[in-house]
A = this chain, B = another copy of it.
Amino acid sequence: MAIDFHFDEQQKLIRDSAREFFRKHCPPAAVRAAAKATEDFPAELWAGMADMGWLGITVAEEFGGLGASFLDLYVLYPEMGRFLVPAPHLDAVVVGAGLVSALGSVEQKQAILREVVAGKLLIAPALTDTGGFGAEDITTEARGANGGYVLNGTKLLVMAAGAANLLVVAARIAGAEGVSLFLIDAAAPGVAREKLPNIAGYPLYAVTFTDVSVGAEGLLGEAGGAWPALEAVLDKAAVLQAAMVAGAGERVLEIAVDYAKNRVQFGTPIGKHQAVQYLCTDVAVAQRHTALLALHAAWRIDRGLPVAREASLAKAMAAKAAAVMTFSAHEVHAGIGFMEDYDLSMYTRRAKHWESHLGDRRHHLERAIALTLEPAA
């Protein structure tokens, strides 16, 4: 096909139906209400997304998914960003179910994936102990005991842990190298979930494990061998997070440009002033750069090319864009943008979560340069 930026027909179909669906189910009022609700996210929204087949786009057909390409999944994400969809698709489906797909035994996949796709089982990935997303940031301990393991530690910023049935927990097995993953019942004895009030209004939790027992069948993948697969799944998620930022950026740009066209000061629309034009193009440039890097990385995934470096560049740029786009749009708006009731502030708050989610700019820049300078690593 040789250099083309047009999605194919199936991708356009998914994107258009997503836009229509979210326009209907996620108007700004619904997004605001979800952030204030006690439930982690609106159950009917999740059920609707399951009905649309979106919880299993890349899940193999034998486990109830569509077995479609990564780009087929990708097209959802700009829309999720544009509409600030209050649903944990990225964490629960892409990361959570993605890890089961990547590492699970046939039994684990059989037991879990079909339920996830149907929207009946929710997985919360509990990966970070400190907010960092490198292998070295994982410190929760799993001690071998009675043929199984006992876990102790606290996981932070766990998305939708309150609604989750199952946790995927990254830990280090005492005395062994490497990272291991465990599937743990969210209601198991010793699991305590604490909601974290946060700038984004997302259902983020601290999950503390106090002598939580899990059988050997709770291990996901090899003991100490989970990191490569985990890293690959996190790369996919990072690309989608970048796509989400790019989609939100389209909307932030619309908000800023509309305001600049219509707000009259000193007798002219403020959008006629070059200072405001600079700010609006700042939004557009950051949005465009993020979209370029994200789309390229997504394409590499489907082509089976190495993508770690490109995923990191996309997420690094997305982190910067999340800050630059919202900042610049606020500068265009001045007073009104500072008001909670104005839509822009919804984007600003969530963008702050996106900035560091799945690794902040510095983390990904450091990873990208390492992969550039030492590609073998």
Contacts and interface: CB of A to CB of B under 8 A. Distances in A.
A6 interface: no
Contacts of A274: 273-275, 278
A274 B279 CA distance: 12
Interface in A273-311: 273-275, 278
A274 B280 CA distance: 14
A273 B272 CA distance: 11
How many monomers of this protein are in the complex?
Answer: 2
Tell me what chain A mostly uses at the interface: helix, strand, loop, or mixed. Answer: helix
Contacts of A275: 274-275, 278
Contacts of A273: 274
A273 B277 CA distance: 11
Interface string A246-278: 000000000000000000000000000111001
A246 to B, nearest CB: 26
A274 B278 CA distance: 9
A273 B275 CA distance: 9
Nearest to A272: B274
Nearest to A278: B275
A275 B280 CA distance: 13
The 7 residue pairs across chains A and B that have the minimum distance between CB atoms: A274-B274, A274-B275, A273-B274, A275-B278, A278-B278, A274-B278, A275-B275
A278 B282 CA distance: 15
A275 B274 CA distance: 6
A30 B274 CA distance: 40
A276 to B, nearest CB: 8
Interface string A298-342: 000000000000000000000000000000000000000000000
A277 to B, nearest CB: 8
A273 B278 CA distance: 12
7 contacts: A273-B274, A274-B274, A274-B275, A274-B278, A275-B275, A275-B278, A278-B278
Nearest to A276: B274
A272 to B, nearest CB: 10
A278 to B, nearest CB: 7
A274 B275 CA distance: 6
A280 to B, nearest CB: 13
A332 to B, nearest CB: 13
A270 to B, nearest CB: 11
A278 B278 CA distance: 10
Contacts of A278: 274-275, 278
A208 to B, nearest CB: 34
A222 B273 CA distance: 63
A278 B276 CA distance: 12
Interface in A140-175: none
A278 B281 CA distance: 15
A215 to B, nearest CB: 50
A274 B277 CA distance: 10
Interface in A160-192: none
A273 B274 CA distance: 7
